[in-house]
Structure 1
Amino acid sequence: MALTDSAIRNTKSGERDIWLTEKSRRGEARLTLRITSGGAKIFYLRYTNSSGKRELIRLGHYDREGKKGLTLKAAGEQAATLKLLYQQGIKDLKKHIEQEERRRQEEEERKHTGTFESLLDAYEENLEGRVSKSDVSNIIRNHVREAFPDLCKRPASQITPGDIREILARLIEQGKGRTASKLRSFLLAAFNQAIRSKFDPTTSIQSTGFLIESNPVAATPALSQFNRARDRTLTWKELVFYHGVLLENRGSALHEGLLVALYLGGQRISQLFRLRPENIDLGSSVLTLYDPKGRRHQARPHVLPVTDPVRAILERRLQLNDEWIFSSHGKKPVHPDSGTKLVSQISGGRYSMGDIRRTCETFLGDTQIMRDLAASKDLRAQIQSHGLNGIQDRHYDRNLYLHDKRRVLEAWAKRLQGSGGGHE
């Protein structure tokens, strides 16, 4: 029976399915309508595949108004597209459609998993457990994810040096050259990680969707002009004042943490604030920090002596039975940013946490301050856990320098306490 709107309207359903088919030449694909015994009217394209078997491709329900289904005209247009493929020699239409849909889904998945944003996600995920993760995440969120949302949706393989330049230029124009320099190093590392991970059997990063051939960040200048070494050191008077303010506020996890950092020769607060009870052995008078800096898969233990003023603080804080030694509420450690802000408040913005660490190293080697107990450059490096990445330090030199560290840090604490800063 011919396929027209009037034929469809006038054909009543029966006990068996009724088929209305458009007129066409033999061997051509045809648009057909099935009227079921229940009254449903469904469009199909009928054709013969390459094996000579008749097949049907469902197009949709019939609706004369086109509101809840296909009009005859719309069904004819869909059928015309498939007929053209059939005429071009694609006889297995159903198989072809399935393959195209699978390819489309794979392409969509590739676009999703291979976006610039997913590359940043993978990079940040790989930093899990490292003290630098918070700083990295904050800078990337503020200056890439939120500042360039459309760029984040693009495939990572389509990010160009010009895009990277635009990201960094915005920061430099805002007078944030140091942040721009940091962000450049993060982005350089993120793209390098994605490139390497395709061939690195030890990595857990899945990056097959990125399809990156070269690092677009490498083409941008290193911004070294914003990375000048800082050389601010406190005067002894300033350091004594800083020490005194911390002593006046004993009992606060933040103030006591900064005191311990100072007594131990200027330790990194990002490491010290993550000190746990199990990292302390008061019987042997030692504590262990974990230094993740550099290209290490595992943080390096940094063993330090527990001097008398440090012991007094630790004994008091261990009685709290908190998960972290320096914690305001027991469940989370004090955040390093809190220490940074407090130092700025104490100094009125004249010096920073990094300046205090630098000052400690300077004075530990000063014969006028330490007299005959001034520490050598190598010993100061051992105390502050920096510059210890050579082959000898990594593999052969197992000497923890504990005796020398204890001797110098005991004298250092007495020097601080004997300068009008009070006693523990």
Structure 2
Amino acid sequence: MSSKTTGQSINDLEPGQFLKVGKVAPVGSLEARKLANGVTTFYWRFTIKSKTHREPVGIYDSGAPPKSVKPTAKGYSIQAAMRAAEALSEQHHARRDDGGILAIKAEAQQARTAAAQAQAEAQQFTLENLLGDYADHLEFQGRRSHADVRSIIKLHVLEPWPQVASLPANQVTGEQIADMMRRVVELGKDRTANKLRSYMRAAYQTAKAARSKASIPLRFKGYRITHNPAADTEPDESANRADKNPLSLEELRAYWLAIKTMAGFKGAVLRLHLLTGGQRIEQLVNLRTADIDAGAFTLYDGKGRPGKPPRPHTIPLIPEAALALLACQPEGIYALSTDGGNTHLAATTLSAWAVEAAAGIDGFQTKRIRSGVETLLASGRVSSDIRGRLQSHGIAGVQARHYDGHDYMQEKRDALALLLRLLQEQSANVVHIKTA
């Protein structure tokens, strides 16, 4: 009969050898095994479905007080290892009918996997990434508004609110978005605050709709958006009022007098802009040479419904506008270009040229040309429908969108011809302005 203590027997183990330390209630036993590096580890051994399993308990600390029942910083005494094994045994016995300790471990692993996945999603599907993905989605659709989205988000979300921007998008609240808007309002930019709300609302709606709308990229589903927090906020309706400050008839005639004989590419571009009805400058400068036909050209309007591709918008050319376009010498990819069509004329450059030409008109802004043209055509009894089709305000109503196949080219051509006649009529109140 051996006179060795359990501790001595453990110390005498050979590498790889197991030693049964004792039975564990209610099931199993405690074992010790010395590893190749000389460290001894305790295991709880048990049998389930006729198979033997060993569950690690911890490292043996030979220097621990023999009667200690809690592990030390270095490991377990024999008594502490026995208590730990008993705790595992009790958990196993309580779940013996559905897998015991193996089922408990599997559930714990599933929980760890779910937690890791949730953490990964939290880092990937943030508000910042949602807004970035939305801007990318707009750009892919050909929406030029993506640049405005990126600018506003950078200035009014990412830079001032980095902690909120880094949150999972589905954890951001309407109150947090309202605080972002409030900051912009306090900067005196009420209209920008409304645009911020609009863009964030659209981004969330895109992610929310991704669950049922196949045309939305799959990535948006990853945000797990079921509620649109931006929809809980209220816009400032007063900031959305139209800035109705169109050029008057006299001011339009003065502007026409300033550009009608202006030489070179600059004058030709300004005449083309005015004589085609004051088209949106951002769209006009993107005119492609391939989209010019006999007597007309086609622009692409990206200001329509979210999720829809840019809408083709064809504008007829009256003879004077056709001459202006010819003087621009369209070639290459872009028709309005100073480098042979490789890049298009910048919208800011065209606007600056218009401001220069209209130096004598008080408060002149290029956008007032567009509203001035519409106002002038309205005074000439051109219907709102034709004005809308000419300036691409959008087509309202089911009948117009789905059943009316008429191209309205003649009606738009007649409106442009009327515009030129009204510009050329003599008036005693013409505002004379300096030419560049």
Alignment check: 8 A CA contact 1:3 1:20 kept: no
AA paired with 1:141? K
User: In the alignment, is the contact (CA less than 8 A) between 1:44 and 1:56 conserved in 2?
Assistant: no
Name the SS of the counterpart of 1:126 in structure 2: helix
Match of 2:51 in 1: 53
The structure 1 residue matched to 2:91, chosen from 82, 88, 91, is 88
* 1:381 shift after superposition: 2.1
- Classify 1:293/1:97 alpha carbon distance in 2 versus 1 (closer, same or farther; 3 Å): same
Relative to structure 1, the CA distance from residue 132 to residue 116 in structure 2 (aligned partners, 3 Å threshold; closer, same or farther) is same
* 2:58 and 2:76 in contact (8 A); partners too: no
Give the aligned length.
398
- Asked if the contact 2:285–2:336 (Cα under 8 Å) also holds between the matched residues in 1, the reply is yes
Match of 1:353 in 2: 366
Deviation at 1:357, TM superposition (A): 0.5
Matched, 1:214 2:227: yes
Distance 1:18 1:353 in 2: 89
Deviation (angstroms), 1:359 = 0.5
Q: CA deviation at 1:111?
A: 2.0
Residue number among 358, 361, 364 corresponding to 2:377 in the alignment? 364
Matches of 2:76 and 2:353, distance apart in 1: 74
Q: Cα deviations across residues 196-223 of structure 1 (Å, max 9, x unaligned)?
A: 2223344324444444443322332221
SS at match of 1:274: coil
Q: Tell me the residue number matched to 1:395.
A: 402
How far is 1:278 from its partner?
1.4
Correspondence for 1:333: 344
- Offset of residue 238 of structure 1: 3.7
Is 2:158 aligned against 1:160? no
Which residue of the other structure, out of 304, 309, 315, is the alignment partner of 1:304? Answer: 315
Q: Which moved more, 1:336-345 or 1:165-174?
A: 336-345
Task: Report Cα offsets for 1:30-63 as digits up to 9, x if no partner.
Answer: 6866533xx586968554364453445789999x
CA–CA distance in structure 2, aligned partners of residues 118 and 21 of structure 1: 57
The Cα shift of 1:388 comes to: 1.8
Q: Which residue does the alignment assign to 2:301?
A: 291
**Higher alpha-carbon deviation: 204-213 or 272-281:** 204-213
Q: Deviations over 1:290-318 (max 9, x none)?
A: 22322262333221123334334444555
Structure 2 distance, partners of 1:81, 1:28, is: 12
Measured after TM superposition, the shift of residue 272 of structure 1 is: 1.6
Partner Cα distance (1:199, 1:174) in 2: 39
Answer with 193-202 or 178-187: which moved more: 193-202
Confirm whether residue 379 of structure 1 aligns to residue 381 of structure 2: no
Q: Is residue 273–residue 336 contact of structure 1 (8 Å, CA) maintained in 2? A: yes
- State the shift of 1:29 in Å: 7.8
User: Aligned letter for 1:260?
Assistant: L
Q: State how far apart, in whole Å, the 1-side matches of 2:347 and 2:43 are.
A: 67
Cα gap change, 1:57 to 1:377, in 2 (>3 Å): same
> Normalising by structure 2, what TM-score?
0.74
Amino acid at match of 2:265: G
Larger C-alpha radius of gyration, 1 or 2? 2
Residues 1:224 and 2:237 are matched in the alignment: yes
Q: What is the alpha-carbon distance in structure 2 between the residues aligned to residue 42 and residue 418 of structure 1?
A: 105
Aligned residue in 2 for 1:264: 276
Query: Considering only aligned residues, what root-mean-square deviation do their CA atoms show, in Å?
Result: 4.3
- The answer as to whether partners of 1:274 and 1:326 remain within 8 angstroms in 2 is yes
Q: Hey, what's the Cα distance between the residues in 2 that align with 1:356 and 1:308?
A: 20
Deviations along 1:180-201, one digit per CA (max 9) or x if unpaired, are 0111112222222222222334
Aligned equivalents of 1:406 and 1:141: distance in 2? 42
CA distance in 2: counterparts of 1:418 and 1:21, whole angstroms: 112
Post-superposition shift, 1:340?
4.8
Contact 2:259-2:270 at 8 Å conserved across structures? no
Structure 2 residue matching 1:389: 3-state secondary structure: coil
Does the CA-based 8 Å contact 2:259-2:271 persist in structure 1? Answer: no
1:404 aligns with 2:405: no
Q: CA deviation at 1:407?
A: 3.6
- State how 1:77-226 maps to structure 2 within 5 Å: 87-89=90-92, 91-92=101-102, 94-128=105-139, 129-226=142-239
- Give the counterpart letter for 1:262 in structure 2: L
CA 1:414–1:170 in structure 2 vs 1: closer, same or farther (change >3 Å)?
same
Counterpart of 1:117, as a letter, is: E
Q: In the alignment, what sits opposite 1:276?
A: 288
Q: Which amino acid aligns with 2:128?
A: E
CA distance in 1 between counterparts of 2:178 and 2:231 reads: 11
* Aligned-partner SS, 1:127: helix
| Unaligned segments of structure 1, at least 5 residues | 63-70, 368-373
CA deviation after TM superposition for structure 1 residue 266, in Å: 0.8
TM-score (norm 1): 0.76
* Change beyond 3 A, Cα 1:245–1:261: closer
Listed as ranges, the gaps of 5+ residues in structure 2 are 61-70, 93-99, 427-431
